[in-house]
Amino acid sequence: MRFVVFILALFLFVCAVRAQWDDDPDEDPDDPEEDPPWRPTSTRRRPTSTRRPTQTRRPTPTQQPTPTRRPTPTRAPTPTPTPEDPEDPPEPIFTGVDTFANATMYQPDDTAHHLTSPRTENMPNNTVLAVWNDLEQINSTLPIYRSTNNGFSWYAHGTAKSKVAGRRLLEPHLLLAEGSFSGDTNMTLLAVNAVDAKSTNIELYASWDQGVTFEFVHCVAEGGAVGAKAVGEPHLLLHDKRLTVYYSDQRDGQHAQKISQQSAADMWDGWGTAIDVAASSTLSDQQGMASVAKLPNKQYLIAFESSPSNGTNSASITNFKITASPENAATERIRDIVSTTGVKPQGASFVTWSLIGGANGTIILSDSVTNSIFVNQALGEGPWKVVATTAGRALGREVRAPANDRRALRITGGSEGKTTSADILVSSMDLEKALLAAA
C-alpha cells in the first residue's frame, strides 16, 4: 500500500514540473533544443507581443514595361570578335570628338573584289546598317554589316540571298520604313538589282529583325541582260506613306538610258507603271545613279549623272531636279551644279540634307572624282561651295548625316572604279566646323 502511495505521489510531482516547463515564455515550441550553445544571445526570442509582427515580403520581380508597339524579334547574338590579322590595315585614329578618318568597314579576301557604291542607313538605338556593290559576289549572298558607334567599327550582322539560282544581288540600297507602311512598323527595306546571265531585276526585300534576315517581297521591274535593255541602280524613298523606287532604265527604245520611278502604298500590291524622272531629248545620252534628298520646304532634290552613251565617269556630269512631287518630276527642268570655284561634280553622285547651316540647312553632294563635297544652303538655288574632306575618292561614294550627331557627316566609299580594288572605308567629319571654315 505504501508503495502505491509513493508511485502516485511521484507521478503528481512529475506532472507539476512538466506544467511549469510548458508555461515558460522563452521556450520555442518549434525548436527541440532552445538556445543551443552556437546561437548568439542576441537571437533569443523575445516575449510574444500583443501586436502581430510584420512579415518580411518576398522581393517583387522587376516589372516589365507594357509594349507600346510590336515587340522586336530576338536579335542574332553579337559575333565574338576575332583576333586581329597582322596583315589587316591599322586601326583608324580619332581625329576629334566625334570625328575619324578612313575606318575600315569591310576588307575583301582578295583583290578580285571591286567594291563600289556603299549604302548605309540610320537605325534605331543609334546603330547603322551598311551594304555595298560587289560584282564578284560569292554564292549570290549580300552581306549586311552593322555599327553601334557611328561607323568607327563594324561587324557582320546579316545577309540577303536570292531564291533564284545564279542571281547576284548588286547595287543595293537600304531604307528604314519608319512609322507604319504596308501594315508594318519600323521595317527595313532593301532594293537590289538581281542580275543573272539573261536578265536584270529590281527586287525588293524586307527585314523584320533590323537587318539580320531579309525576305524577298516583290519584283518591281524586269529588264534584259546587262547592256541590253537592262534596269538597275535602284534608290528608295518613303514619302506620305508611299514607297517610291527610282532606277536606271534602258528598256525604252527612244533613250539609251533614262531614270524611271514606280510607287506603291503597299509593297505587295498596287505598284504603278513606270514613269519618267529624267530622260534626255538626245537618244545617245544616258541618265542614271539617281539619289534623293528631302528639303525642309517639302521639296525634293533628285540628283543624277548624265553622260553620252559611250562615255566614262570622267566625261559624265551631275545634274539635278527640284520637285514638290517625287512621283512626278518628268516635267521639271534639269539643272546644272555650278560651284564658286568653277569645279563641277562628276560621275555617280549621291545627295543628302543636313539641318546644319541655318534655316534652310545644307544640301551635301558627293561625286566620284574628287575628295571634296559640294554644299548648297539656298534650297538648291544659286552657286554651290566646295568643301574639302579627308575621305578618299570612290565610285558612288555616299554622304549621310548621322541620326544622333547634328554636327557630323558620314562619308562612305570603296573602290575608285569598277576595275580597281579597295576596302570599304568610312570617315566622319565635323560638318559644322567645315562649313564655318569654308564661309
Q: How far apart are CA 339 and CA 370, in angstroms?
A: 13
What integer pLDDT is reported at residue 309 of this predicted model? 60
Instruction: Evaluate whether residue 195 is within a structural domain.
Output: yes
Query: Is there a domain that residue 305 lies in?
Result: yes
Contact 208, 73 (CB under 8 A): yes
pLDDT for the residue numbered 107: 93
**Does the residue 49 lie in any domain?**
no
Instruction: Return the CATH number at 211.
Output: 2.120.10.10
pLDDT in tens, 118-153: 999 999 888 999 999 998 887 789 999 999 988 999
Indicate the pTM of the whole model.
0.77
- Copy the grid coordinates of residue 295: 528639303
Q: Is residue 23 part of a domain?
A: no
Within a domain: residue 289?
yes
Which pLDDT score is estimated for 78? 37
pLDDT for 275 beyond 80:
yes
In a domain, 152, yes or no: yes
Q: What are phi and psi of 120, to 5 degrees?
A: -120, 165
Residue 373 lies in a domain: yes
d(CA 257, CA 372) in angstroms, rounded, equals 28
Q: Residue 142 in contact with residue 161, Cβ under 8 Å?
A: yes
The Cα-based distances of 270 to 108, 182, 193, 244, 274 in angstroms read 40, 11, 21, 12, 13
As given in the structure block, the three cell numbers for residue 351 are 545627295
- pLDDT tens digits, one per residue of 332-374: 999 999 899 998 998 899 999 999 988 999 999 999 999 999 9
pLDDT for position 125: 85
Q: Could you give the number of structural domains in the chain? A: 1
Separation of alpha carbons 291 and 114, rounded Å: 22
In a domain, 422, yes or no: yes
Tell me the average pLDDT across 290-318.
85
Strands (E), 284-379: 285-294, 300-308, 317-323, 335-336, 350-354, 362-366, 373-376
Burial of 163 (0-12, 13-18, 19+ CB in 10 A): exposed
Whole domain around residue 376: which residue ranges? 100-438
- Name 301's Cβ contacts closer than 8 Å, sequence gap at least 6: 292, 293, 295, 320, 321, 322, 351, 353, 363, 380
Q: Which three cell numbers stand for residue 384?
A: 554651290
Whole-angstrom distance between the N-terminal and C-terminal Cα of the chain?
Answer: 129
> What string of DSSP letters covers 239-254?
ETTEEEEEEEE---TT
Question: What's the confidence (pLDDT) of residue 227?
Answer: 87
Question: In the numeric block, which cell numbers belong to residue 362?
Answer: 545644307
Please report the sign of the dihedral spanned by the C-alpha atoms of residue 219, residue 220, residue 226, residue 228: positive
Report the distance separating Cα 189 and Cα 194, nearest Å: 15
